[in-house]
């Protein structure tokens, strides 16, 4: 048979194949455009507004990025991707300036053109990681310059510039200077080596330990891009409940592989250090920080790490907390432990981030006071490369806590803020809760440590006490779910955390506005609606979970739903009853002078305000005070009625949030619309569950009737108590 005959004979098959190929192409192009949330806020979709598109295209008729480093290459790639997508055409990369406008990007060091455009002067106020974006001209040709003193500054500037286009801002007369206020802007992954994630609600760990170092998922680069776009410059890859295995040579090779992917985006890797690693890995008889054998072990381990990863960031340590080993096992202090590691890291400029999340039930003391009691006396005894990492509140990432009293109380030690991005106590992967209002509530809190103007933001950025080291950590909500964070709005919390780590003075509304425009739409209706629902969401969650200063009402282990009745756990402070102390007369934890005196850990005037039941802000009332059910609050309602009304308001709030979301139907893509819609259905049900379970229980204690017109719980207390969630995500088998 000749070839022609063969072709004819195979014609039907050929057509089937062709059809298949066309179908696959169509499918993949649909899939590539599917709004599955993978692109996060780095969506570079074509700008729809034709006028704006024309203006942008004129201003960026040509563009050039100068320099050759890996970081500059990332900037070039990002700009190419962004411009191509947003302007929907390939803009010539050229050093020729256009009469309508051009974009010139790079450090003055790398480019005579940038130098000639006045960069040195613009960079006067710019630090090592900052950048300047400004409009100038060469001859009569307008030029937009993105420059920095370093390549990473240039990359951050590029992301800022793309954000201007994504959020549809004018770019004709730019004069922007931006410096990060905080030096170490870190994510903390609580990721285990078996790929489970402690308190992770977005699938498994994105670190594919088993296949590293040879298999490099493209996701690692996208992770780095997303982080660099919001200024995050470090990542702690492993859980604070640490595994010593990470220090074994084969695991260090895996860490090196990740560090190599992140370096072009200015991201350093850090590891959690298990204090007993010398015993567990190499059979040393002790991990005593003052023992010379232990000191040499760590020095050698650190040298081994830096040989592989010259820009390694350092260690994060959870010691003598929740069963983790630490220096106290050898009658040494936290400072002894931190300093031993700090000495090993110092020759390489590495840092130790030593966590202050400690609470020992041996001391018969209010849990809220323990970290302060243990750490404040150590102020001044830490090495220069140690930061003490403090959670935002004194208990544990509750929906609302007063600020941790350690902020301002250790002026000789740089304190890092630890926020939780993953929503362990805020509806986990199911509830829409925008956390920026909670973060800013803490950051803007004036501690009065040095009189008025001693805001937490100024303490952690080093201003107040003149610290060169500064840091912020966010416990990551990232997993291998296609959309990264499980709930699509979890992305906004990752974004907001990064923006606040760069500038803790930013406003929650401003950040929401940026995120909505970059993630969903620039349409005013959509922005208005989604922003309203985001900004109301945290307060509403507090109302339906833990109103009026209540805290830790969560069910055992998984912390998923309510369990205010739980009273059978071996450690006193694991039981919700310890925190609410409800009895027939009243409810609340007396932390005033007549109780645990935790109020005394705050500076004046907060000490006195928290001490007084009438001056204490109502949102913290039951945190600091025991109040009788029948006592009257400012509103004129009894405490019992106010509590019922708060839970009700929380439920109504979620219904309102849902209605607001429904108002954007058809204005955003149906994939993401439907996903969030289903989540809000669940959130409505669960808000009602919180309300009914908590109020059924509190009523069984107070014996009071529900207020007039109150819709009573739909199920019995026994029903609520009987619910169990053995496979709730984010928990480990030991729970």
Binding-site ranges for ligand GCV (CB under 6 A): 190, 198-199, 240-241, 318, 322, 357, 396, 424
3-state secondary structure 600-650: HHCCCCHHHHHHCCCCCCHHHHHHHCCEECCCECCCCCEHHHHHHHHHHHH
Least distance (Å) between residue 442 CB and ligand GCV: 16
Measured from the CB atom, the residue of 134 and 359 that comes closer to ligand GCV is 359
- Alpha-carbon span 138 to 147, nearest angstrom: 16
DSSP code, position 584: S
Cα separation, 212 vs 198, whole angstroms: 21
- Cross-strand bridge partners of residue 137: 142
Of 482, 473, 477, 503, nearest to 492 (Cα)?
477
Q: Which is closer to ligand GCV, CB of 67 or CB of 563?
A: 563
> Residue 423's closest CA among 224, 550, 558?
558
In this structure, what DSSP letter does residue 636 have?
S
Quote the tokens at residue 74. 């990332």
Alpha helices in 450-575 (DSSP H): 456-460, 490-502, 508-519, 524-545
Where is 370: in which H helix or E strand? helix 367-375
The span from the CA of 323 to the CA of 341, in Å, is: 20
Among candidate residues 191, 418, 424, 611, the one labeled active-site is 424
In the complex with ligand GCV, which residue's Cβ is closer, 363 or 665? 363
Q: Tell me how far, at minimum, the Cβ of 451 lies from ligand GCV, in Å.
A: 32
Q: How far is the CB of 225 from ligand GCV (least distance, A)?
A: 27
DSSP state of 178: E
CB of 486 to ligand GCV, least distance (A): 17
Nearer to ligand GCV, 217 or 241 (CB): 241
In the bound state with ligand GCV, the residue whose beta carbon lies nearer, of 338 and 701, is: 338
CB of 358 to ligand GCV, least distance (A): 9
Least gap, CB of 242 to ligand GCV (angstroms): 10
Nearer to ligand GCV, 157 or 427 (CB): 427
- For residue 604, give every residue at least 6 positions away whose Cβ sits within 8 Å of its Cβ, in sequence order, or none: 448
Query: Helix, strand, or coil here: 44?
Result: coil
* Partner residues linked to 638 by β-bridges: 632
The residue to which tokens 């130790």 are assigned: 352
Of 5 and 734, which has the nearer Cβ to ligand GCV?
734
d(CA 670, CA 665): 8
CA–CA gap between residue 418 and residue 176 (Å, rounded) = 29
- Asked if residues 646 and 622 have their Cβ atoms less than 8 Å apart, the reply is no
State in angstroms the smallest separation of the CB of 355 from ligand GCV.
7
Confirm whether 669 is a catalytic residue. no
Residue 70, token pair as written in the block:
């890996």
Alpha-carbon distance 290 to 281, whole Å? 19
342 — phi, psi (to 5°)? -65, -40
Between CA 496 and CA 439 the distance in angstroms is: 9
Per the residue annotation, which of 6, 9, 172, 322 is the catalytic one? 322
Determine phi and psi for 117, rounding to 5 degrees: -95, 15
Listed residue (350, 323, 320) closest to 336, CA to CA: 320
Q: Are 134 and 144 in contact (CB under 8 A)?
A: yes
What residues contact 543, with CB distance under 8 A and at least 6 apart? Answer: 646, 647, 649, 650, 653
Q: Give the chain's length.
A: 735
Could you tell me which residues are beta bridge partners of residue 446? Answer: 455
564, 520, 540: which is closest to 656 by C-alpha?
540
Q: Is 337 exposed, middle or buried (0-12, 13-18, 19+ CB in 10 A)?
A: buried
Structure tokens at 553: 């009402």
**Closest distance of CB 417 from ligand GCV, Å:** 14
Judged by beta carbon, residue 336 or residue 424, the one nearer ligand GCV is: 424
Give min distance, CB of 393 to ligand GCV, in A: 12
Task: Give the Å distances, CA to CA, from 133 to 7, 103, 177, 308.
Answer: 61, 10, 7, 36
Nearest to 323 by CA among 285, 289, 357, 283: 357
Pick the catalytic residue: 78, 336, 366, 396?
396
Q: Would you say 241 or 329 has its CB closer to ligand GCV? A: 241
Query: Which C-beta is closer to ligand GCV: that of 356 or that of 516?
Result: 356
Residue 424 annotated to the active site: yes
Cβ nearer to ligand GCV, comparing 268 with 552: 552
**Minimum distance of ligand GCV from residue 391's CB (angstroms):** 7
Q: Which residues contact 299 (CB under 8 A, 6 or more apart)?
A: 343, 344
Catalytic residues: 322, 396, 424
């Amino acid at each position: 048979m000749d070839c022609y005959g063969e072709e004819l004979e195979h014609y039907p098959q050929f057509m089937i194949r062709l059809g298949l190929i066309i179908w696959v192409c169509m499918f993949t192009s649909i899939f590539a455009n599917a709004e599955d949330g993978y692109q996060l806020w780095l969506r570079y979709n074509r700008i729809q507004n034709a006028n704006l598109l024309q203006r942008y295209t004129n201003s960026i008729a040509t563009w050039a990025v100068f320099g050759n480093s890996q970081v500059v290459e990332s900037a070039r790639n990002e700009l190419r991707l962004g411009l191509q997508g947003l302007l929907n055409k390939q803009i010539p990369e050229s050093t020729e300036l256009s009469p309508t406008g051009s974009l010139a990007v790079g450090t003055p060091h790398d480019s005579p053109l940038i130098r000639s455009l006045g960069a040195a002067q613009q960079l006067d106020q710019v630090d090592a990681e900052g950048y300047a974006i400004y409009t100038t001209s060469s001859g009569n040709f307008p030029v937009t310059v993105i420059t920095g003193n370093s390549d990473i500054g240039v990359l951050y500037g590029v992301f800022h510039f793309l954000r201007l286009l994504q959020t549809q801002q004018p770019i004709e007369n730019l004069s922007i200077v931006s410096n990060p206020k905080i030096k170490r802007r870190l994510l903390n992954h609580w990721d285990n080596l078996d790929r489970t994630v402690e308190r992770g609600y977005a699938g498994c760990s994105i670190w594919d330990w088993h296949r590293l170092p040879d298999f490099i998922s493209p996701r690692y680069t996208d992770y780095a891009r997303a982080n660099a776009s919001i200024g995050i410059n470090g990542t702690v890859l492993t859980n604070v409940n640490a595994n010593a295995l990470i220090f074994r040579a084969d695991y260090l090779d895996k860490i090196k592989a990740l560090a190599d992917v992140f370096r072009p985006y200015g991201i350093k890797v850090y590891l959690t250090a298990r204090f007993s690693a010398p015993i567990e890995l190499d059979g040393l008889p002790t991990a005593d920080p003052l023992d010379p054998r232990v000191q040499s072990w760590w020095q050698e381990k650190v040298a081994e790490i830096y040989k592989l990863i010259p820009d390694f960031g350092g260690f994060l340590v959870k010691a003598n907390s929740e069963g983790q080993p630490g220096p106290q096992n050898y009658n040494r202090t936290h400072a002894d432990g931190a300093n031993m590691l700090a000495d090993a890291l110092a020759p390489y400029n590495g840092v130790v981030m030593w966590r202050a999340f400690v609470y020992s039930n041996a001391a018969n003391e209010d849990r809220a006071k323990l970290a302060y009691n243990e750490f404040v006396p150590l102020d001044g005894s830490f090495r220069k490369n140690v930061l003490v990492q403090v959670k935002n509140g004194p208990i544990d990432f509750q929906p609302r806590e007063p600020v941790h009293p350690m902020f301002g109380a250790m002026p000789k030690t740089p304190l890092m803020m630890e926020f939780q991005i993953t929503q362990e106590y805020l509806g986990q992967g199911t509830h829409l809760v925008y956390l920026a209002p909670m973060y800013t509530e803490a950051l803007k809190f004036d501690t009065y440590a040095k009189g008025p103007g001693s805001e937490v933001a100024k303490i952690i950025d080093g201003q107040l006490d003149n610290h060169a080291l500064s840091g912020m950590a966010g416990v990551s909500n990232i997993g291998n779910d296609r959309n990264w964070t499980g709930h699509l709005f979890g992305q906004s919390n990752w974004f907001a955390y990064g923006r606040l780590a760069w500038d803790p003075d930013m406003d929650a509304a401003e950040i929401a506005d940026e995120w909505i425009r970059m993630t969903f739409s620039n349409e005013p209706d959509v922005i208005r609606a989604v922003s309203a629902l985001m900004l109301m969401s945290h307060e509403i969650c507090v109302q339906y979970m833990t109103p009026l200063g209540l805290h830790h009402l969560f069910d055992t282990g998984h912390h998923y739903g309510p369990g205010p009745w739980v009273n059978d756990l071996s450690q006193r402070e694991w039981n919700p009853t310890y925190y609410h102390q409800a009895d027939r007369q009243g409810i609340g934890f007396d932390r005033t002078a007549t109780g645990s005196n935790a109020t005394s850990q705050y500076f004046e005037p907060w000490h006195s305000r928290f001490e007084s039941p009438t001056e204490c802000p109502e949102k913290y009332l039951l945190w600091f005070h025991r109040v009788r059910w029948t006592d009257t609050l400012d509103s004129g309602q009894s405490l019992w009625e106010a509590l019922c009304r708060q839970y009700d308001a929380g439920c109504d709030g979620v219904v309102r949030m849902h209605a607001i979301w429904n108002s954007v139907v058809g204005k955003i893509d149906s994939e993401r619309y439907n996903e969030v819609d289903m989540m809000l259905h669940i959130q409505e049900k669960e808000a009602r569950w919180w309300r009914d379970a908590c109020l059924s229980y509190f009523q069984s204690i107070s014996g009071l009737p529900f207020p007039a017109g109150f819709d009573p719980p739909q199920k019995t207390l026994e029903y609520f108590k009987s619910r169990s969630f053995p496979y709730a995500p984010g928990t480990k088998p030991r729970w």
